[in-house]
Structure 1
C-alpha cells in the first residue's frame, strides 16, 4: 500500500505532461461534476425561491384577513384620531394586541404587527416594542398599496407582506398590518427537499464518471495509441507540403504556435526559421497576423511590403475532416511583377512625352521652315538658340527650363500633362538644379511618381481654389566622382495629412496599407503601398523618405522629402556652388496668396 501511494504522489508531482487521453478524462470528469453541482445549486435556489414566494403569499393572505377585521379597523381609526399614542401598557391589554397575537399563534407566523397612520406599533410580539416606529419602511402600505417583502427586522430575517388598514366605511388609510414568516423555517423546508436532489446528483455524477472512462478507452482504440498532437503534426505537415510547394508557407497550429516555416518564407520575409515560436509574437508584418484572426475573411489576399519586396499573402484554414488544424499562410512574391508594372508606367510616360515631342517638333520645324523660306535666317538662328536654351518640349509644367536632365524632363512633363487634365498645376521650385543624369530611372520613377501622384490627389481633394503641386529636384555630386545623390521635395495645395494623422504622428503614413482615401483600399489592389515601398527603396540605398511638413487645413498641404543616393552620375560641383547636404531642411516656397 505505501508503494502504491508513493507512485500516485510521484505521478501527481512529476513535471511530465499528462497524456491527452488522461487530460480528456479529467476534463470530462470536471465538466460532469460542474454540471451536476450547477444543476443542484440552481434547483436548490429555485426551491428556496418557491418556498419564499409561498411564504409571502401566505403572509399576504393573513395580513389581508387581519386588516379587514371590522374591530381592528375601528380600533386603529380610534387610536389614529387621538393626539399621540396610548401607553404601551394600555396597548398590551387592548383588543389590537389580542387580535394580532391570536392570528400569529394560529398560523405560526413570526410576527403580526399593527401600526397607526404614522408607522408607530400598536401591536407587536415583543411588548417592549409597542409605541415605537417599525424598523422597515411602511410608506407604501400607508399609501394604500399591498406589498410583499423579504428583509431583516427586529425579530430576524423574514418573508412577509404589508397591507393598509382602512377606516370603516371609507378609503382613508388609518394604519397598516405587517405579517412575516421566518426564513429559517423556509431553510428547514429546503433541507427536507434537498435530500432527493443530492441523491439524484450523486447518481448523475457516477454515470458521468463511468461514461468518461468508456470514452477514453474508445479514443485510444481509434487513434491506435497515438496522441492527437502527433497526429495533428503529421497531418499539418502533409497539408503544408501539398499546398505550398514553390511559395512561402507558414503553418500555424490551432494552439497558436508556428509549426511550418519553410525556406521560401524565410527568404521572402528576411527572417530565420521561426518554427515553434508563438505566432502572435512572431516578427512578421501585422497584415499577416491579421489574416489569422477569428474575424478574418478566409481566402482574402493582401499586398504588403517586407524586406524591399512586394508580397501577396493569403490564409486558409487547415482542416482534416472536421478537425481544425490551424491556418496555412501562403506568400507569393510580386516584386518582379511590380518592377514590370513600373517599367510599363515608365514606357507609358515616355510614350506620352514622345507624342507631345512629335507634335512640338513638327510645329517647330514648320516655324523654322517658314523663316528659311522668307529669308529670315537670323530669326531662324535666334529661334534655334531659344530652343536649345529652354528645351524642345512645351509641357504644362511651370519653370520647366530649370530641369535639364532629359529623362526627368520627360517624366515630369508627362506627369504635368496628367495633373493638368485633373485641374492641377505642376511646377518646379526655384531651387531645382540637376547637373548630372539619372542612372537609376526605375527607382527614381517609383519614388518620384508616388510622391507626385499622392500630391496631385491631395491637391484635387483639397479645399484651396488654386490647385498646384511643386517639385524641387537637386542632385549632389558623389565623393571622388562617384555616383551622386538625388534630393526630391514635393509639396501641394491640399489640406495636409489631417488631424487623425497628427494625433498618431506623421510616421503612420508610411505604414503598409495606409491611405487617406474615403473608401477603404481594395484587398489586393495595391492601394496604400506607395509611400511604404518608396521609403523601403530609398532606405535600401541608404537614403530615406520622410514628412517635412504635415500641412494644415485650407493649405498649403503636406511636404515630403526623398533622398536617393547613388541614382545620378556625371555630376560635377561648380567652384562657386555649395551643394546642400540636406536640402529638405528648407521648406518649399509658396505663393504669397496661398
Structure 2
C-alpha cells in the first residue's frame, strides 16, 4: 500500500521567523486600528467643537433672538409657508451655506422647527431631544437625524436682554465629512504602518540569521541533546577541560579542571584575568602552535597541558585547553627510579660478594677450615651489604636508613660522598614515606648533581635530619648542603623554585640496563641480604627521581611541603669553589613516636 509522503516539520528558525512575522503584522494592524480610531475620534470632537461655536454665534444674534421671541409670544406656530419665507429661515440657510454645516436648525420653546434645511420639515418636532438645550444647557451630540449621522451641538436661545429660554439652535456637521477628513489623515498612517511592517519583516530575517549563527544551525532538540552529552562527558572524564570562547571568556571549566588546578568554577570569567597559571594562557596566544604541550606544577600536581583551536565549519569558536594529571605517572617513575637505585646498590656490592666468595673458596681449598668459619662469622656479624654513607647509624628510622643508604650508593658511583651531619636526631618513625622521600630525594639529587658539576676536588653532600614531635604528628626538618659552586651570582633564591628552572644537564645516572640477570643471580644475593632493617620496598617507594633537567622537582617538592603546612627554602646560596647552596625543608605531620606508624606504613611492611 502506498504511503503518503511524510511532511518534514519546519525548522525552528523558520518557525521563529513566521511567529515573528505574525506578531509584527498583528502589532501593526492593532496600532493602525487604534491610531485610526483615535484620529476619527479627534476629528469628530473637532466637528463637535466647531458646531458648538457656530451654534453659540447663531444663538447670540440679536435679530434671531428677537424673531424667535416674537414667534414664541404668538398664539400657535406660524404655518410652514410663512416660516419658509421668514427671516429665521433665511439667516439659518445663509449660515449653513457659508460654514459648510450639514444643518442649522432653529426651534421655539417647544421644540418645533422654525428653520430647517428641508422646508418640508418646518413646523415639525425636531427628531432629537431638545430638552437639555431648552433647559438652558449647551451640549454636543453625535446622532443620526433626518439628514443622516452628524456631529453637532445644541445651544439655548434667550430672549433679548432676558434669561428666558425662548428656543434653541442645533448645528451639525455630517460624519461623512468627518470620514473625508479621516481619509486625508489616514494616508500617512498607512504609510507609517507599511514602513513599520517592512522594518519588522527585515528585523525578523536578520534575527533569524543571527539565531542560526548562534545555534550553529542546530534545532532545540539537538541543542538539548548536546547539553546533556556535554555535561555527561565533561563531568565524567578525569581530564580537565577548559573552554575559552571566541570573545575571550571561559565557557567551560569542568570538575576535573577545578580539581587539578585547585580553583573554583571560573565559567564566565575573562580568560585574560583568570587566576590560572600563565603557561596555560600562553598556549592560547595567536602565535602558539597547537601541537605544543607543556608540563607544569599546579595544586601540588604535575599537569600536562595542551590547547587546540575549536572550529565549527569555518567559524572560530575559541580554544579548548586539555589538562592531564601526570602525578601518578611521576610517582610510578619515582618508584622505578627507586628500584633502579636499589639495583645500582646491588651492582656496587656484586664485586665485593664475588671477592668474599673467592676468599672463602680459597681458604677451603687449602684446608684452612677454621679461618673460613671465622671469616663467615665476621660476614654474618656485619651483614652482606654496607652503604657508603658516613655516620649512617644516626638514622634510626628504617625508611630513612634504606633510602639514604641507596642514595649513598648512587652518589658513591658518581664520586660523591654522602654523609650524615652530627646534628641529626630521629626519635620517632616516618609515617608519610611518600612525601618525605619525594622531598628528600629531590634535595639529595640536586645536591649530588651540584657536587658533580662543582669545581671542588672534594665532592660531598651532607644531610642533617631532625624530627620535632607534636601531638598531631611530628615535623621533620631536613637540611642538605653540598660541595658545589652554589647558585649563579645574582640568582634570586626564590627563582630556583620556579617551574622550568634548571641548571642541570640530562642526568647520566645509572639505569637498570647494566643489571642483567646473570649479575643478580640467586647464589650471590639471597633473601637474607635484603632484610627489613636494610632495603625494604616501602623505603624505596615513590621518593626518588632522577633529575632530568625538567625544572619541576623543586617546584613540586615545595608545593607538596606547603600543602602540608611546611616550607622549602634556600638557607645559603653558596660560593664559587664551594661550599655550595644549603637547602632546608620542614614537613609537618610526617613522623610519630616509636610504634605509632600509620596504616599505610603497616600495610607496606606487611607486604
Q: TM-score, normalised by structure 1?
A: 0.50
Q: Which whole-Å CA distance do the structure 2 matches of 1:320 and 1:243 have between them?
A: 19
Higher mean alpha-carbon deviation, 239-248 vs 468-477, is at 239-248
Q: Which whole-Å CA distance do the structure 1 matches of 2:217 and 2:259 have between them?
A: 26
1:425-504 alignment runs, 5 A limit = 425-479=417-471, 483-502=473-492
Q: CA deviation at 1:360?
A: 6.1
| Cross-structure match for 2:301 | 309
Q: Which whole-Å CA distance do the structure 1 matches of 2:399 and 2:346 have between them?
A: 12
Q: Which whole-Å CA distance do the structure 1 matches of 2:591 and 2:355 have between them?
A: 33
Match of residue 512, structure 1, among 493, 499, 511: 499
| Correspondence 1:536 to 2:559 | yes
| Correspondence 1:418 to 2:410 | yes
1:361-376 alignment runs, 5 A limit = 373-374=369-370
| Correspondence 1:255 to 2:237 | no
Mapped contact 1:443–1:537 kept (Cα < 8 A): yes
Mapped contact 1:257–1:276 kept (Cα < 8 A): yes
Structure 1 residues 526 and 278, CA gap change in structure 2 (3 angstroms): farther
| Cross-structure match for 2:138 | none
1:135-534 alignment runs, 5 A limit = 224-226=209-211, 228=213, 231=216, 246=237, 247-353=239-345, 373-374=369-370, 387=382, 393-479=385-471, 483-502=473-492, 506-517=493-504, 527-534=550-557
Mapped contact 1:508–1:514 kept (Cα < 8 A): yes
Q: Which whole-Å CA distance do the structure 2 matches of 1:293 and 1:255 have between them?
A: 13
Structure 2 SS opposite 1:310: strand
Q: CA deviation at 1:221?
A: 6.4
Structure 1 SS opposite 2:494: helix
Q: CA deviation at 1:558?
A: 1.0
Mapped contact 2:418–2:462 kept (Cα < 8 A): yes
Structure 1 residues 376 and 368, CA gap change in structure 2 (3 angstroms): closer
Q: Which whole-Å CA distance do the structure 1 matches of 2:289 and 2:209 have between them?
A: 36
Q: Which whole-Å CA distance do the structure 1 matches of 2:266 and 2:503 have between them?
A: 34
Structure 1 residues 379 and 526, CA gap change in structure 2 (3 angstroms): closer
Q: Which whole-Å CA distance do the structure 2 matches of 1:278 and 1:230 have between them?
A: 22
Q: Which whole-Å CA distance do the structure 2 matches of 1:498 and 1:539 have between them?
A: 26
Number of residue pairs aligned between Structure 1 and Structure 2: 343
Mapped contact 2:567–2:587 kept (Cα < 8 A): yes
Q: CA deviation at 1:529?
A: 0.9
Structure 1 SS opposite 2:489: helix
Q: CA deviation at 1:379?
A: 9.4
Structure 1 residues 382 and 392, CA gap change in structure 2 (3 angstroms): closer
Structure 1 residues 240 and 501, CA gap change in structure 2 (3 angstroms): farther
Q: Which whole-Å CA distance do the structure 2 matches of 1:225 and 1:484 have between them?
A: 64
Structure 1 residues 537 and 465, CA gap change in structure 2 (3 angstroms): same
Structure 2 SS opposite 1:498: coil
Higher mean alpha-carbon deviation, 328-337 vs 368-377, is at 368-377
Q: CA deviation at 1:314?
A: 0.5
Higher Cα radius of gyration:
2
Q: Which whole-Å CA distance do the structure 1 matches of 2:329 and 2:337 have between them?
A: 12
| Cross-structure match for 1:557 | 580
| Cross-structure match for 1:566 | 589
Structure 1 residues 376 and 346, CA gap change in structure 2 (3 angstroms): closer
Structure 1 residues 493 and 540, CA gap change in structure 2 (3 angstroms): same
- CA RMSD across the alignment: 3.9
Mapped contact 1:353–1:410 kept (Cα < 8 A): no
Deviations, residues 43-68 of structure 1 (Å, cap 9, x unaligned): xxxxxxxxxxxxxxxxxxxxxxxxxx
Q: CA deviation at 1:560?
A: 0.7
Deviations, residues 496-552 of structure 1 (Å, cap 9, x unaligned): 2213423xxx12221222222479xxxxx8811101111122222222211111112
Q: Which whole-Å CA distance do the structure 2 matches of 1:271 and 1:423 have between them?
A: 45
Q: Which whole-Å CA distance do the structure 2 matches of 1:334 and 1:382 have between them?
A: 48
Q: CA deviation at 1:222?
A: 11
Mapped contact 2:360–2:372 kept (Cα < 8 A): no
Structure 1 residues 219 and 284, CA gap change in structure 2 (3 angstroms): farther
Structure 1 SS opposite 2:267: coil
Structure 1 residues 354 and 438, CA gap change in structure 2 (3 angstroms): farther
Deviations, residues 127-171 of structure 1 (Å, cap 9, x unaligned): xxxxxxxxxxxxxxxxxxxxxxxxxxxxxxxxxxxxxxxxxxxxx
Mapped contact 1:474–1:486 kept (Cα < 8 A): yes
Deviations, residues 321-380 of structure 1 (Å, cap 9, x unaligned): 332221110011122222222222333333444565687678779989979943799998
Structure 2 SS opposite 1:466: coil
Q: Which whole-Å CA distance do the structure 1 matches of 2:580 and 2:439 have between them?
A: 19
Structure 1 residues 518 and 239, CA gap change in structure 2 (3 angstroms): farther
Structure 1 residues 569 and 364, CA gap change in structure 2 (3 angstroms): farther
Q: Which whole-Å CA distance do the structure 2 matches of 1:417 and 1:530 have between them?
A: 21
Gaps of at least 5 residues in structure 2 are 1-201, 507-547, 596-607
1:71-90 alignment runs, 5 A limit = none
Mapped contact 1:455–1:469 kept (Cα < 8 A): yes
